[in-house]
Amino acid sequence: MRSLLRTPMMAPLVRDSALVWLASGVVGVSFGAIAVAGGLPLWVPVVMSLVVYAGSAQFSAVGVLLAGGGPLAAAATGLFLNTRTAAFSLAVADVIGGRGRLARFLGAHLVTDETVAFTLAQRDPALRRAAFWVNGLGLFAAWNTGVLAGALAGTALGDTATYGLDAAFPAVLVALVLPTLRTDARIRRCALLGAALALAVTPAVPAGVPVLLALAGLVRYGRGEASA
C-alpha cells in the first residue's frame, strides 16, 4: 500500500477525492451537532463515528435514541441499514483481500458508499487499489474530524437541515458513477432496475430501506454473466 501512495497517481487521486472528503466533513459536522443538541453526551457521536463509521446508520441510531428508544433498538436499526455494505465489500474484495489481517480489517472498516463508488470508477487494478486507500483513509479522517467539530459546536449551529447538507453526498455519488453507467450497458440496466424499485417503495417503507431493496437490481447483472 505504501508503494502505491508514493506513485505519481497520488496527486490526481487526492484532488478527485477532495470533494468527497469535504462533503463527508460537512455532513459529519451536522451529525455531531444534531446528536449533542438533542441531549446526547459529546463522547457518544465521537466514539460511534470511530467504531461504527457509517453515516446513515449513525443518523438512524441517534434518531432512535433521541426519540426515546433503547440502545438495543438503536443498534438494530443501524445494523439493518448497514447490511448493504456486505454487497459493497464483495465489489472491492480484490482490493482489500490478500494483504494481511490488519489490512483486511482496516479495509473492511473503510468500506462505504462513497469509497466503493470511487474505487469502481477506476479501470486499472493498481489504480483501483490506490483509489480505495486514498479515498477511504481521507474520508475516515474528514468524517471524524467533522463529527468532533459539530459535537463541540453543539447547538451553536442552529438547525443544520436549513443548509441543505443532505444534498452533498448524492451529488458526489452521481458524479462518481456516471462514467461507469455511460460505458457499461449491463451495469446501467442494473442501476435502472434498482432505482425503479427504490422509488416504488419509498412512500411505504422507512428511510434507508429503499437503498437495501435497490440491491435487487444486481440480479440482472448475475443473469447477464450467466448468459454471456
Ranges of H-type helices in 69-112: 71-81, 84-91, 93-96, 101-109
Q: What is the rounded distance in angstroms from the CA atom of residue 211 to the CA atom of residue 198? A: 6
DSSP count for the chain of H helices, then E strands: 14, 0
User: What integer pLDDT is reported at residue 226 of this predicted model?
Assistant: 45
User: What integer pLDDT is reported at residue 217 of this predicted model?
Assistant: 78
Q: What is the rounded distance in angstroms from the CA atom of residue 211 to the CA atom of residue 173? A: 13
pLDDT in tens, the chain (228 residues): 555 555 556 777 788 788 888 888 888 888 888 888 878 888 989 999 998 888 777 877 887 777 777 777 777 777 777 777 777 777 787 788 666 788 888 888 888 888 888 888 887 888 888 888 888 999 999 999 999 998 998 767 666 666 655 555 566 557 656 766 777 788 888 888 888 988 998 888 766 677 667 777 777 665 555 444
- Domain limits, the chain: 2-156+166-179, 184-228
> Sign of the C-alpha dihedral, residues 61, 197, 143, 123?
positive
Residue type present at position 45: P
User: What integer pLDDT is reported at residue 47 of this predicted model?
Assistant: 92
